[in-house]
């Protein structure tokens, strides 16, 4: 037994050298998502007339942030769109290299919470609506009698029926080989799934940092110490 414990302890010590890899993978997944999300919220993605306008949020994004009828209906839309855009754009680049990882994770987590609660919450969990109740994650929640799980499974059957109708129409009147070349059709549920996953990844980076050996933070800390 002592020998096994010694071997296990040695194993843990060896793999500890690689404990920065999960943080690196999280950063590489999150960075492009945040960069392009921020880029498309800002005037830098379009044509601007003045130098200072270059740094502002795009007018259509500001309108979407502020309009209560077809947008988010948030107060101070100019300011919030500006902060969200630059937090994502600059934060994404900093995540990419692992600089100030813990610090930039905070505003990015906040943007994920706002996105989940203001844009996606009323659509439930799934980003893409499942079409098979037997393979839906809601099946497990239904076993545990979680409220809403049964409705989600019933929704999967309704989604499957609509997808089959779409495919039938395409195969009868359309160009199925061309239309299906890049993938089969699906129904966007637009739930909180991606926002929640990104939030969990950012929360992990907040506690672990950018990762040993694989982030600028690690090497700066070693130089300072």
The predicted-structure confidence for 123-175, as pLDDT tens digits, reads as follows 999 999 999 999 999 999 999 999 889 999 999 999 999 999 999 999 888 88
How far apart, in whole angstroms, are the C-alpha atoms of residue 16 and residue 105?
23
Is the pTM value of this prediction over 0.95? no
- Distance (Å) of CA 148 to CA 64, 152, 156, 157: 30, 6, 13, 15
The region, left, alpha or beta by phi > 0 then psi within -120 to 50, assigned to residue 98 is: left
Tens-digit pLDDT profile for residues 5-21: 888 888 888 888 889 99
Q: Which of 45, 44, 39 is nearest to 55 (CA)?
A: 44
Q: At what angle are helices 21-39 and 193-208 packed, to 10 degrees? A: 130
How far apart, in whole angstroms, are the C-alpha atoms of residue 35 and residue 116?
18
Structure tokens at 109: 């987590």
Q: Which of 209, 191, 198, 213 is nearest to 32 (CA)?
A: 198
* Residues in contact with 121: Cβ distance below 8 Å, sequence separation at least 6, in sequence order: 192
Torsions phi, psi for 209 (to 5 deg): 85, -170
């Amino acid at each position: 037994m002592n020998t096994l414990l010694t071997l296990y302890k040695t194993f843990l010590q060896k793999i500890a050298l690689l404990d920065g890899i999960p943080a690196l993978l999280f950063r590489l997944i999150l960075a492009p998502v945040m960069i392009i999300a921020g880029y498309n919220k800002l005037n830098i993605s379009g044509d601007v007339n003045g130098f200072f306008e270059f740094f502002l949020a795009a007018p259509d994004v500001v309108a979407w942030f502020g309009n209560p009828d077809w947008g988010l209906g948030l107060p101070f839309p100019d300011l919030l769109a500006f902060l969200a855009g630059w937090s994502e754009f600059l934060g994404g680049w900093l995540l990419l290299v692992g600089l100030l990882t813990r610090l930039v994770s905070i505003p990015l987590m906040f943007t994920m919470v706002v996105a989940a609660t203001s844009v996606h919450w009323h659509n439930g969990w799934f980003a893409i609506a499942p079409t098979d109740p037997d393979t839906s994650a809601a099946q497990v929640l239904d076993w545990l009698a979680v409220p809403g799980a049964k409705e989600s499974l019933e929704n999967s059957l309704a989604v499957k029926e609509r997808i089959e109708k779409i495919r039938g129409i395409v195969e009868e009147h359309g160009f199925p080989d061309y239309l299906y070349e890049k993938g089969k059709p699906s129904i966007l549920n637009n739930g909180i799934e991606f926002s929640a996953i990104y939030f969990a990844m950012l929360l992990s980076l907040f506690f672990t940092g950018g990762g040993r050996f694989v982030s600028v933070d690690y090497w700066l800390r070693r130089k300072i110490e």
